[in-house]
Amino acid sequence: MLTRIPAYAEHLQARQLATGTIGPYLAELRRLTAFMASESLELPTLTLPAIVRYINQSGRSALTTRRSLTVLSQFMVWAKHPLAAELGDIRLPRFHAPSPDYLSVIEEKVLRKVLKIRTDIRSRTRDRALFCLLLDTGIRVSEAAGLVVGDVELDEKLIRLAAKGGKQRTRFLPVETRDLLKPLVVGESSESPLFQAQRGAPISDRHIRRLLNLWAGLAGITRPVHPHLLRHTFATSLLKKTGNLRLVQLALDHESPKTTAIYAHVADEELRAAIEGRRS
């Protein structure tokens, strides 16, 4: 089994999956390998009951179980293992996806304000452009970190994002976001990282997380924050404005509407508030 994992890693890289996706996939396969060793099993002799024992041994949540089975199923398909067809027979537990965490209207307003007024912080121009871009487009933090100057089309009012299979996606840039990006674009080489760290290197996801914690603290936001929370904020705000889940799905580039359904709670809250206030 261990000998197959490096080849599978190359397969995942060829599919252009994000590093943050590949890592958990390979970790799952290593855990399965350890389980197989404890039961003296080899890949050709792995059976469905053994998979069930593996899944049940660690007290996983329903959501984690589903994710694990997805990883194992995809691996078995790649390995052309008979279990690929049998994994669908495992009865999956039901689970309720948690509502996404997002900034309140007041929190977003204060964060934007502090990004605007704290001119004493040297990286403010870059940071304001970065976090407003995340709030105004809903792109992933990894996508923002990977942008180069040539990806920004100010005249066309859009940015270009790399997608799987060498394709490109575009995202509309609101006028304020374009104005914030302009100082980072004008006069720069098209190949230069849009958001630069020290010595012109691309900014990392980890660095962006640290910066967001810094600015959230300056804004008086004391609860934990993370960059993906800004994507949730964009999606929640867009749904409140339009009431259209399909539009949110397109904006977030979700392949399945089931992925976007986690934002349905927003519509429920709006409906509840409308009913409560109908006679007032």
pTM for this one? 0.63
The order of strands in the sheet holding 158-162 is 152-153, 158-162, 168-172
Residues 6+ apart with CB under 8 A from 34: none
Among 55, 118, 124, 115, smallest CA distance to 90 is for 55
Residue with tokens 């008979």, as numbered in its chain: 82
Ordered structural domains, the chain, with CATH: 2-89 (1.10.150), 105-273 (1.10.443.10)
For 38-71, the pLDDT digits (tens) are: 988 888 888 877 887 887 776 666 667 778 888 8
Q: Which position among 53, 164, 182, 241 bears the catalytic label? A: 164
Grouping H, G, I as helix, E, B as strand and the rest as coil, residue 18 is: coil
Rounded CA separation 6/25 (Å): 12
* 222 pLDDT tier (thresholds 50, 70, 90): confident
* 257 pLDDT tier (thresholds 50, 70, 90): low
In contact, 232 and 260? CB cutoff 8 Å: no
Q: Which position among 126, 128, 178, 231 bears the catalytic label? A: 231
In this predicted structure, the answer to whether residue 35 has a pLDDT above a threshold of 80 is yes
In this predicted structure, the answer to whether residue 235 has a pLDDT above a threshold of 80 is yes
Tell me the CA end-to-end span of the chain in Å, nearest whole number: 66
For 138-164, the pLDDT digits (tens) are: 998 989 999 999 999 999 999 998 765
Give the pairing of strands 158-162 and 152-153.
antiparallel
Please state, rounded to an integer, the average pLDDT across all residues of the chain: 83
Residue 140: active-site member:
yes
Residue 212's pLDDT is 95
Q: Which position among 128, 140, 171, 178 bears the catalytic label? A: 140
In this predicted structure, the answer to whether residue 94 has a pLDDT above a threshold of 50 is yes
Higher local confidence (pLDDT), 253 or 234: 234
CA angle at residue 71 from 67 to 74, to 5 degrees?
Answer: 135
* 280 pLDDT tier (thresholds 50, 70, 90): very low
Provide the percentage of residues in the chain whose pLDDT is more than 90. Answer: 34
Q: Which position among 118, 228, 240, 265 bears the catalytic label? A: 228
Residue 68's pLDDT is 84
Residue 164: active-site member:
yes
For 167-181, the pLDDT digits (tens) are: 678 889 999 999 999
Residue 279's pLDDT is 46
DSSP alpha helix (H) spans, the chain: 5-14, 19-38, 48-56, 62-78, 83-86, 105-117, 124-137, 141-145, 175-185, 205-218, 227-242, 245-252, 257-260, 264-276
Q: What integer is the mean pLDDT of 91-105?
A: 66
- Least confident segment among 2-6, 124-128, 166-170: 166-170
